[in-house]
Structure 1
């Protein structure tokens, strides 16, 4: 009688194929946490190295974790900081230089004003001329009686010396712009030479400026003449005294820099 072979009961084995994607998922999660941590760190160089390593290990080199362009390098940060500091220093130097130039300008104009005031005093012209220095200009105001006959723009021969004296003082400061302006009162002009006060004030300013520019040491490109007619009075036109003040020629030496000093207003007497 043949001997029957005894078979072991068949054991059922569970399907473990799910372990592979699960392990891959855990690996990817770990990589994600590491990358997030690296992004929050300040060491950009280490992050770049770590990013390259994960790109090599977990991808085909397509640069999924490449953030080089999104995060500035230490070198760029240092360069930007340096440029910012240089701009601050440059602006401070410019402001300092401007303050020094404004201070020198103030000293120049004060010196010129003292010279003019002394000339006015020495020549007994205190009733005909005065000077005023403020934050925009130094102005020399000359009464029309000191320069012209009534209704005329021709400078009196005895008054040409005044213009030459002023030009000699101006030549010490040749870089300043100078405006010569003519002014009248509001009385209508009544002669055949001038149709209006505009024309008279224009000619007076121009003729006086031409005498100033007879000094070859003055630069004509720095000079301008202008006419204001009766429209910039400094006193009332209702009285003879007021109208006399309004008939004038002004020589204005213009500032080039804003002065930090307080406005100064001095009238020669």
Structure 2
């Protein structure tokens, strides 16, 4: 008995599901392309992408039918790269300007130090005055013997002349912060005027600053005075010579620009 031939009109397997599946794959591919192109998504780009996907789902149009999304992402990436280049150039310009300012400052402070050193040499004051330029400041150190009587904050007449001369040399450098600090040895003091070395050192710094600021060409808002008592010694207090070095007034012209990569460490305080 012969087998019955298949009916020519036999129904085929339904493959209509492949169409939405292919659309879904297309949408996923477009999503990854967009995410790759947009490395830094801002609100505007996200809104454009959202509109494109919304149009795709609501109208049936593919994301790739609207190439503006990818185009905008590429343009945004280019803007980011351009901004990075601009920031790099600005940073380089800032570094260059900073180097120029530091160079000018170094020249100014070296010039002032040279002027002070010439004054010290001319007037035979090398035993009473000293200058030191480092990475943070130009410091003028003045022995208390050149300024005050023992246990007093009243400036000697000749020390007023010294202060006046220093103030004249400071005139071209009014843009700098200037700190006047007083220091003593570790011998305790307790008088009617000063109950401690804190009081004596602070008062001496202020009295010397007062004379400096009699020069109307200087700016008082740039000045400050501080007393350290015996707590910032530069020599041992075990000897008369050491205690003499510790009794001093310092005038520090503070740098405005400091190279952090070349900052010197503050030397350790000598042992008592």
TM-score (structure 1 length as normaliser)? 0.79
Match of 1:61 in 2: 59
Match of 1:80 in 2: 80
Q: Name the CA distance, whole Å, in 2 between partners of 1:166 and 1:29.
A: 88
Q: Name the CA distance, whole Å, in 1 between partners of 2:33 and 2:167.
A: 73
Match of 2:200 in 1: 200
Instruction: Confirm whether residue 25 of structure 1 aligns to residue 12 of structure 2.
Output: no
Higher helix share: 2
Task: Provide closer, same or farther for how the CA distance between residues 261 and 111 of structure 1 changes in structure 2, counting only shifts above 3 A.
Answer: farther
Q: Name the CA distance, whole Å, in 1 between partners of 2:10 and 2:176.
A: 99
How far off is 1:25 after superposition?
3.4
Secondary structure of the structure 2 residue equivalent to 1:73: helix
Quote the RMSD (CA, aligned, Å): 3.2
Match of 1:5 in 2: none
TM-superposition CA deviations, 1:59-111 (whole Å, max 9, x none):
65167758989866221111111111111111111111111111111111000
| TM alignment of 1:225-240, pairs within 5 A | 225-240=225-240
Match of 2:42 in 1: none
Name the structure, 1 or 2, with higher relative contact order (CA <8 Å, separation 6+).
Answer: 1
Q: How many residues align?
A: 242
How far off is 1:192 after superposition?
2.1
Q: Name the CA distance, whole Å, in 2 between partners of 1:187 and 1:178.
A: 28
Q: Name the CA distance, whole Å, in 1 between partners of 2:58 and 2:104.
A: 71
Q: Name the CA distance, whole Å, in 2 between partners of 1:38 and 1:151.
A: 86
Task: Provide closer, same or farther for how the CA distance between residues 171 and 261 of structure 1 changes in structure 2, counting only shifts above 3 A.
Answer: farther
Structure 1 stretches of 4+ moved >3 Å? 11-15, 25-42, 62-72, 259-263
Secondary structure of the structure 2 residue equivalent to 1:140: strand
Which protein shows a greater Rg? 1
Which residues of structure 1 form unaligned runs of 5+?
A: 1-10, 264-269
Match of 2:123 in 1: 123
TM-score (structure 2 length as normaliser)? 0.78
Which residues of structure 2 form unaligned runs of 5+?
A: 1-5, 38-47, 265-272
TM-superposition CA deviations, 1:6-48 (whole Å, max 9, x none):
xxxxx955432x45x31x2344455556666666779x8xxx9
Q: Name the CA distance, whole Å, in 2 between partners of 1:148 and 1:68.
A: 85
Match of 1:211 in 2: 211
